[in-house]
Amino acid sequence: MTESSQLSPDEKGLLLFISGPSGVGKSTICRALAAQLPAEFALSATTRLGKPQDQWGKRYLFINANEFAQRIEKDEFLEYAQVFGHWYGTLKAPVIESLNAGKKVLLEIDVQGGAQIKVMFPRAVGILILPPSEESLVQRLTSRGRDDPATITTRLAQAKMEISAARNSGAYSLEVVNQVVETTIERIKEFVQGPRPKSG
């Protein structure tokens, strides 16, 4: 057996997971990071319905609850969680394949998923994206035009819970306040490419 074949997938490649409240700008950041690092953007399965702004077949595989349950049974997910009433899970096989090939892999997942990943892969790097302020988050959610005012109030309450859950989990090594998206991306790249303790 060669030295490399004894390494675990997260020693061969680099697993990054990015979390943060809804409306904080995660998707834009992740798309740019995937292109610039470069990193493979992992595919998730979800039971939520596709929306016009989703890129079909690229970010999500849209499946029903039965199929999701079958895939759990078959151990096809690296992690999975229920978020806003729908199931989401990272498909395991392509992530492991990319890590074994020495690549960087980027997951955009919620905090429950991030905690699961960190337990499985202690070298994975968790990054938490924060809004500059509560007001800016409300403004961002409002301008997206996807949610009514009641939903925005719920999302704000969830955002606060998510941030404290992320901090309590100990799974996140870097927090970045997303004031200017380009600066956020540069900060993350600097952190990922710079020296880090072995445990992430």
Which residue lies nearest ligand 5GP, judged by its C-beta? Answer: 113
Closer of 3 and 75 to ligand 5GP (Cβ): 75
Q: Return d(Cα 39, Cα 17) in angstroms, integer.
A: 11
Residues numbered 6 to 45 that lie near ligand 5GP (CB under 6 A) are 22, 44
CA neighbor of 116 nearest in space, from 181, 72, 50, 55: 72
Residue 111 to residues 26, 98, 133, Cα–Cα distance (Å): 13, 23, 19
User: Is position 68 an interface residue for ligand 5GP (rule: CB under 6 A)?
Assistant: no
Which range, of 95-103, 110-118, 126-134, 184-192, touches ligand 5GP by CB under 6 A? 110-118
At a CB cut-off of 8 Å and minimum separation 6, what does 88 contact?
44, 45, 46, 47, 48, 80, 81, 82, 109, 110, 113
When binding is defined by CB under 6 A, the residue of 95, 110, 125, 128 that contacts ligand 5GP is 110
Closer of 10 and 162 to ligand 5GP (Cβ): 162
Interface with ligand 5GP (CB under 6 A), residue total: 15
Q: Return d(Cα 158, Cα 178) in angstroms, integer.
A: 18
Amino acid identity at 38: P
Closer of 83 and 99 to ligand 5GP (Cβ): 83
Which range, of 102-110, 118-126, 134-142, 177-185, touches ligand 5GP by CB under 6 A? 102-110
Residue 191 to residues 9, 15, 55, 57, 164, Cα–Cα distance (Å): 20, 13, 28, 30, 22
Residues numbered 128 to 187 that lie near ligand 5GP (CB under 6 A) are none
Chain residues in the site for ligand 5GP (CB under 6 A): 22, 44, 48, 79, 81, 83-84, 88-90, 108-110, 112-113
